Amino acid sequence: MAHFVGLDVSVKETSVCVVDDTGKVLCERKVPTEPDDIAVLLTSIGGDYVRIGIEAGPLSQWLMSDLTGAGLPMVCVETRHMKALLKAQQINKSDRNDARGIAQMMRVGLFKPVHVKTLAAQEQRMLLTSRRLIQRKLLDIECDMRGTLRNFGLKVGTVSTVLYEARIRHLVEGFPRLAAIVEPLLTVRRVMRQQLAALHKMLLDVVRHDPVCRRFVTVPGVGPVVALTYRASVDQPHRFLHSRAVGAHAGLTPKRHQSGEIDYDGGVSKSGDVMLRTMLYEAAQSMLTHSKKWSWLKAWGMRVAQRRGMRRATVAVARRLAVILHRMWIDGTDFRWSNDSAVAQAA
């Protein structure tokens, strides 16, 4: 008999619900949140497992990887979709009811699966987020010192990153109490700069040894950080049937509202991966405003800017960059600086 399972995961315990193809509950139990304990429980129950549902969350990637390796048919469900369905099914929210609702969703097939990233993509993502975290905290420390010293009439002004510490020490030279206060901050800043440089070097090494990232950096405006962000976010390019779907995945496509006689398009949806959308926007802005080398993509973006403004042109170029990078990844080709068919055939 076909069995369907719902797993409601928490940090310490996981609620497990097993139902058959008629919807009858066969087993409801709580086990420790460990892949081995869950696999042992499901094995002891027996039966032909068709789908085992789990909600996307912090622990879902780890559980999905280990349980799939144990030969179980795992399905990771999108969070907002599951929340809406569970809210419609039940009145009282509990771990037991959530597990039962997930199991019923697996039985009727009413779910929206999400892609679970590979281990390599998760490691790359952690490298990017750690680098960004240190970078933001470093800027917070510098801005805080600027604002605090301004209260005493000490203006830091425009100064390079290398000369920032010497400038601060020069300003507080005649203020012993202030010098004692900013000294720990300067020490923390120095250490954070060293660790940021170490993470950035690690990022550059990853990009240097990855053929896909090396191909991405041939696109104007795309640097190592943008290339690795795109690589880690997309992970597996073949999960997108069309290259234009990557723009929607990054939240760079217009949102639409239609109801009866009302039908209008709004701004970009801003849904999906925030880091990927930010990096693509920065790459497009860099290409349109800073890149000196001309390309057909920059010419297209400048024509859009003449008609719609630079801001909308940047969004349009960012969306097109997402499509181009995906097509380059699928075809294994470098960026074409000219879209002339004759030039392309000659190349």
Q: What pLDDT was estimated at residue 110?
A: 84
Q: What pLDDT was estimated at residue 340?
A: 64
Query: Which of 83, 108, 133 is the endpoint of a domain?
Result: 108
For residue 236, being part of any structural domain is answered with yes
How many helical (H) and strand (E) elements, i.e. helices and strands, does the chain have?
14, 7
Query: Which of 85, 108, 131 is the endpoint of a domain?
Result: 108
For residue 113, being part of any structural domain is answered with no
Regions of the chain with pLDDT less than 70: 340-347
Within 10 A of 341 (CB to CB), how many other CB atoms are there?
Answer: 8
Do 324 and 225 share a structural domain? yes
For residue 6, being part of any structural domain is answered with yes
Do 236 and 203 share a structural domain? no
For residue 17, being part of any structural domain is answered with yes
d(CA 78, CA 115): 9
Query: Which of 178, 209, 240 is the endpoint of a domain?
Result: 209
Do 312 and 224 share a structural domain? yes
Do 13 and 137 share a structural domain? no
For residue 32, being part of any structural domain is answered with yes
For residue 114, being part of any structural domain is answered with no
Do 21 and 85 share a structural domain? yes
Do 303 and 249 share a structural domain? yes
Please work out, in degrees rounded to the nearest 5, the angle formed at the alpha carbon of residue 277 by the alpha carbons of 228 and 81: 110
**Residues 18 and 65 sit within 8 Å (Cβ to Cβ):** no
Do 75 and 199 share a structural domain? no
For residue 324, being part of any structural domain is answered with yes
Q: What pLDDT was estimated at residue 342?
A: 36
Q: What pLDDT was estimated at residue 287?
A: 93
Q: Which domain holds residue 144?
A: 119-209
Q: What pLDDT was estimated at residue 89?
A: 80
For residue 172, being part of any structural domain is answered with yes
Do 288 and 235 share a structural domain? yes
Do 173 and 67 share a structural domain? no
**Residues 327 and 212 sit within 8 Å (Cβ to Cβ):** no
Q: What pLDDT was estimated at residue 283?
A: 96
Which structure tokens are listed for 154? Answer: 């000490």
d(CA 114, CA 111): 10
Q: What pLDDT was estimated at residue 344?
A: 43
**Start-to-end CA span in the chain (Å):** 59
Do 249 and 271 share a structural domain? yes
Do 266 and 168 share a structural domain? no
d(CA 104, CA 86): 10
**Residues 26 and 120 sit within 8 Å (Cβ to Cβ):** no
SS3 assignment, position 52:
strand
pTM of the model: 0.87
CATH code where residue 23 lies: 3.30.420.40
The number of domains in the chain is 3
Which structure tokens are listed for 201? Answer: 């070097």
Q: What pLDDT was estimated at residue 347?
A: 42
Do 136 and 100 share a structural domain? no
Q: Which residue pairs, CB below 8 angstroms and at least 24 apart, start in 239-245?
A: 239/115, 240/326, 243/323, 243/324, 243/326, 243/327, 243/330, 244/323
